[in-house]
Amino acid sequence: MATPAKPNVAFIGLGAMGFGMATHLVKQGYAVTGFDVWPPTLERFRAAGGKTASTPSDAVRGHDYVVCMVATAQQVQSVLFEGENPALPALAEGASLLLCSTVPCGYVQSLAAQLAREGRSDVLLVDAPVSGGAGRAADGTLSIMAGASDEALEKGRFLLQELSDASKLYIVRGGIGAGSNMKMVHQVLAAVKILATSEGMGFAQRLGLDLAYTYESIQNSDASAWMFGHRGPRILSQFQPIASAITIILKDAGIITSEALRAGFSTPMTGTAEQVYFSSLSRGYGADDDSSLIRLYTEGAKDAVSPLAEEDKAKKLALVRGLLRGIYLCGTAESLSFAKRCQLDLDQVFDLCINAAGGSKVFEDVGPEIINLFRGKEQVAETEGESLQDVASELQAAVTEAQNLKMPLYLGTEASNLIRLALQHVQDQSQPLPRAAIAKIWGA
C-alpha cells in the first residue's frame, strides 16, 4: 500500500530557530512554504528546498498546518491579525496552528479568545513554545511544551513529534497557556543562570584566577550547570560566536516578571537579573552575545592572572563555587515555587528542567526536596549533608570578598539576602535547616 503523502505546512518566522525548524521539515519530506520579513532569509530558505511567500496570507493559503515562530507577541498579532495581508482570513477551515514563539501565558490565552471573537473557533490552536537552540531546531530534537484542547493536540501531534526529541515532547495539562507557563518557569532558571555565569567568571577574574582553570574546575564540581558549560567557552573566546543576544534573554525575563506581577507572585532573582540586563542595554550591549555580560563585573579591572599558591587558588575557587551554588539554590526555589503557583505538574517541570538549558547539579539535588516540601513532606537536614546555614555561610563569604574588592555581585547579594530572610524566622538557629527550606520564602 502506498505511503500517504505528507501534508503541506506553512511556516511563519524564519529566524535562527524558525529557519532550522522549517528546513528540518523540508528534509523530512514536507512541502513547506515559508514567510519572513527579511528577503535574504527567504532566499536561503529557497536554496534549502523550501517554497516562499511574500505575505503571511499567501503563506498559509491552502495549508491545513501552520507553524508560527516569530519573536514576540506583538509580531504574532501582526502576522495573524493586524499587519499587511495577515494570515487569519486565509487560514483554512479547521487549520492546525502551532504557536511556537515564547510569549506570555496571558497573551496566548487572549489570542484564543480573539480567534473566537473573530468567528474562527474552528482554528485548532496549540500553545507550543520550544527550547534547545538553533542546532537542535535543525536536527528536530527540540524540547517542546504543548498545551491545547485534546482535539488540537491530536491533529497537531505528528508535527510536534517531527520537531522534537522523542523524550522531550511535554504535553502539559491545563490547555492554552499551560505550555507557555511551562516554558516560563524553565526560563526563570535560564535568566538567572545566564547572568550567574558572567557573575561567577567576573568574580573569578577579580580574584586573580585563571578563567580557563575556573571554568574547568566549576564544571567538574557540584556547582556545574548547563548554562555555565555553554556560556563559559564563549567568555573564554571573547564572546564569540554570537549565539544568543542579550535582548533575547531580556525578553524572556520580561515575560517572567510581567506574568509574576499579573499573578501577584514575587520573582526577586529574575527581577534582579532583568535589571542587570537593562543596564547592559544602556551600554550598547543589547545585540552582543549574552556571555559578554562579564564586562559589567570587570570594567576597569586588570586582566592579569595573579600568581597564587595552590592553597590560595583553592580558597578563591571555593568562593566562586559558594557564590554560584547559593544563586542556583535561590533560582531553583523561585522556579519551582512559580510552577506551583501556576498549578503545573511539578514532576514534569523537574524532568524538563534537568534535561534542558536551565539544569544544574543544585537543581538536580535540591529540586526533589523542594517538591516534597510542597507536598507536605517536611524535610530534615541530614547530619552529614549540607544545610541552608552552610550555603548561607559560603555565599556570604563571597559577598564579603566582593565588597572588599569593590565589585558588584548582583545575584549573589540578592540570594544572600533571601537566605538570611529565610533563616531569621527560624526559632532554633542551632538546628541545621535543609536547603529546601529556602522555598518557604515564596510561601511553600
pLDDT along the chain (444 residues), means of 10: 79 96 98 97 98 98 97 96 96 98 97 97 98 92 97 98 96 98 98 98 97 98 97 95 93 97 97 98 96 94 79 97 98 98 98 93 97 86 80 98 97 98 83 94 86
Rounded to whole angstroms, the Cα distance separating 67 from 140 reads 14
The answer to whether 433 and 373 have CB atoms below 8 angstroms apart is: no
Strands (E), 209-328: none
The answer to whether 232 and 225 have CB atoms below 8 angstroms apart is: no
pLDDT for the residue numbered 243: 87
Residue 97 forms beta bridges with which residues? 66, 125
pLDDT for the residue numbered 132: 86
Element of type H or E holding 33: strand 32-35
pLDDT for the residue numbered 428: 78
| 84 DSSP 8-state letter | S
Q: What is the reported pTM?
A: 0.94
Quick: pLDDT tens for 101-154: 999 999 999 999 999 999 999 999 999 999 988 899 999 999 999 999 999 999
Q: Is 228 helix (H, G, I), strand (E, B) or coil?
A: helix
Strands 142-146 and 130-131: antiparallel
User: Which grid coordinates belong to 172?
Assistant: 502539559
pLDDT for the residue numbered 233: 97
For 354-377, letters b (16+ CB in 10 Å) and e give bebbbbbbbbbbbbbbbbebbeee
pLDDT for the residue numbered 133: 86
Q: What are phi and psi of 100, to 5 degrees?
A: -100, 0
Residue 35 forms beta bridges with which residues? 12
pLDDT for the residue numbered 23: 98
DSSP output for 376-436: T------TTS-BHHHHHHHHHHHHHHHHHHT---HHHHHHHHHHHHHHHT-S-TTSPPBGG
pLDDT for the residue numbered 429: 73
Assess whether the previous peptide bond of 129 is cis (omega < 30° from 0).
no
Active site residues: 183
User: Which grid coordinates belong to 378?
Assistant: 517536611
User: Which grid coordinates belong to 71?
Assistant: 519573536
Burial category of 72 from C-beta neighbours within 10 Å (exposed 0-12, middle 13-18, buried 19 and up): middle
The residue behind cell 540570594 is: 415
User: Which grid coordinates belong to 412?
Assistant: 549573589
Q: Is 35 helix (H, G, I), strand (E, B) or coil?
A: strand
Rounded to whole angstroms, the Cα distance separating 342 from 358 reads 18
pLDDT for the residue numbered 377: 86
pLDDT for the residue numbered 379: 64
Share of the chain above pLDDT 90, in %: 89
